[in-house]
Structure 1
Amino acid sequence: MHFMQVLVTGGSGRAGQHVVRELVAAGHAVVNIDLVRNVELPGAFCRVDLTNIGEVYDAFFQFRPQGVCHLAANPSPEGQARVDVFDNNVRSTYNVLQAAGDLGVQRVIYASSEMATGLLSDGAVPTQIPFTESERLPSPNAYALSKYLSEVIAESLALRYPSTAFVGLRINNVIPPDRYDILQARRDDPSTGKANFWSYIDARDVGSAYRAALEGASTGHEVFLIAAANTSADRPLRELMAEYYNGYDAFAPDHDDFASAFKCEKMERFFGWKPTYSWRQQG
């Protein structure tokens, strides 16, 4: 493995800070690109408005990265104007990925979302549990649509820039290490966890997933699901799906009662990554 100059966009955020720490600990030279600095983080910082393409190109020219980890986004699909969510996420992703291609960045790891599957809205269910990256339904949700279009942008730019590898991580509901109480609340009221089939991922596993994808080998554009190995629930997933999704019972015969609905084997196959953290360990 060779050490890289890496830009991490959104490095001050809930997941981004763990990507920064993971990469710095591995020996990479990291620059956090964000609007607000997290003074507790190691590495350099540069304030950049990613919706301003001039600022984006200036940062790329200044730091000349070999790798980019793009996490910056409007993280909330609720409570604000849909057009703001959509415009911010699509514009910033296009700017970052386009600049990376133009400047010959070797690897770009960007944050897609579990919502890009289209499953996590309006009661949609997968054809089978667990499901893989091929599972996809249209969604009118502004956040889900913005993340799906991020994948379309990456797929398209990969054709234009064959020397740049684009990797999309469909990140599950991110739980910081000190906020496992969020999952306890979902166990107390299972209806609050049904939107993403009671799945989650520890923020530290997001960090290790980014590192694995950055240091790994792939070409073109690939998309990967990443989630904790188990659900956030203390009841069998089959039981919960039947209760909250009109008797749903399309499970693979060998599916464990408490295993995630998200099948992350592709990530392990390509990059050797598996999730490490679980709420059960915290208890």
Structure 2
Amino acid sequence: MQKVFVTGGTGFVGANLVRLLLQEGYAVKALVRPNSQLDNLQGLNVELVQGSLTDRNLDQAMAGCQGLFHVAAHYSLWQKDQKILHEYNVLGTRNVLAAARTAGVDRTIYTSSVAAIGVKQGAIADEAYQSPVEKLIGAYKQSKYWAEQEAIKAAQSGQTIVIVNPSTPIGAWDIKPTPTGDIVLRFLRRQMPVYLHTGLNFIHVQDVAWGHLLAYQKGTTGDRYILGHQNMTLKYLLDQLEQITGLPAPSRSIPAWVPLSVAWIDETLLAKLGKTPSVPIDGVRMAGQLMYYDASKAVQELGLPQTPIVDALKDAVEWFVTKGYA
């Protein structure tokens, strides 16, 4: 039985990955912060170790593990969080990879994001494309780019590291929830009277978990693999939710300047008055782009599953309802 170390196991992708690893016969040791919400790991046969990505003794926690899945990342689109994004995502990744090297971990999967690749205007991006870092919108995307550079440098130095770049996962165990889960949730609560014209690449979160394991088993060190499936507009996604739930999808779109104006007031004016902003400027700026990706490399080289997105939406709806979110 192989023993693997997982960071980010309490989160959306991590919780699905941990379940898959246990199902496939791996022993799992998971890093959790002292204040982590552990609901996603309740009842699972997982060895928990408290700590942070920046701890100096992480190599001791990884001792005896053959593999590492570094899934954890700080997600925030707020401009004020630039420092913590760099500390957690970039410096934290550097520290985790160094600890794995010291501990003698044989193989590492680093969870990057399509956010690190960027958007190919008017086209569909694959692993060969890279947007200039200065054109990546917001501190989060830029932190994921620089974190991925840490993984590339470590691989070039001889460490066995495979990079995976998930697109937009949908499904169960979205505990926070993620921005996409929040769309599903607001739809269920009938809190979405209008929509913004944007597009994303979506994938079932269980397929993302499989993508991690397949990359661990088959991936080429130093390579990156987009874990995605279907490119679709937000409107199409909402229409699918209407068919699943029987609730009406919004029929009116709004121009991007409307939420952008709200976001600017929220984040630059109200925040200075001590009020909690609700709409991030960078989030609205991102939504102005069609964020489409080609996952054929992962499908062909790894065997990445391509579960219909309607199944992912059904699983998400069922989970949110069962857990009392909606």
Q: Same fold (TM over 0.5)?
A: yes
1:279–1:106 Cα change, 3 Å: same
Q: Which one of 4, 7, 17 corresponds to residue 2 of structure 2? A: 4
2:204 and 2:312 map into 1 onto residues whose CA distance is: 12
Distance 1:244 1:94 in 2: 40
CA distance in 2 between partners of 1:170 and 1:95 (Å): 20
Secondary structure in structure 2 of the residue aligned to 1:199: strand
What is the TM-score with the length of structure 1 in the denominator?
Answer: 0.76
What's the CA shift for 1:173?
A: 2.5
CA RMSD, aligned part only? 2.8
Q: Which runs of 5+ in 2 are unaligned?
A: 175-180, 238-253, 257-290, 315-326
Residue 223 (structure 1) aligned with residue 224 (structure 2)? yes
- Alpha-carbon distance between aligned partners in 2 of 1:32 and 1:87, rounded to the nearest angstrom: 20
User: Which structure has the greater CA radius of gyration?
Assistant: 2
Identity score, percent: 25
List per-residue Cα deviations over 1:251-281 (Å, max 9, x = no partner). Answer: xxxxxxxxx8210011122211133241367
Stretches of structure 1 that go unaligned for 5 or more consecutive residues are: 120-125, 237-242, 246-259
SS at match of 1:136: coil
Determine which of 123, 127, 131 is the counterpart of 2:125: 131
Q: Is 1:143 the counterpart of 2:145 in the alignment?
A: no
- The answer for the alignment partner of 1:74 in structure 2 is 74
Alignment of structure 1 residues 76-225 onto 2, 5 Å: 76-78=76-78, 80-119=80-119, 126-137=120-131, 138=133, 139=136, 141-161=138-158, 164-177=159-172, 182-183=183-184, 185=187, 189-191=194-196, 194=198, 197-219=199-221, 221-225=222-226
Asked if the contact 1:205/1:277 (under 8 Å) is kept, the reply is no
Q: Please tell me the residue identity of whatever aligns with 1:131.
A: A
Tell me the number of residue pairs that the alignment of Structure 1 and Structure 2 aligns: 246
The DSSP-based 3-state class of the residue aligned with 1:198 is strand
Per-residue Cα deviation, 1:117-166 (whole angstroms, up to 9, x for no partner): 233xxxxxx155332112222226211111111221111111222xx421
The 2-side partners of 1:53 and 1:222 are apart by 28
- Decide whether aligned partners of structure 1 residues 136 and 102 sit closer, same or farther in structure 2, where only a CA change above 3 A counts: same
TM-score (norm 2): 0.67
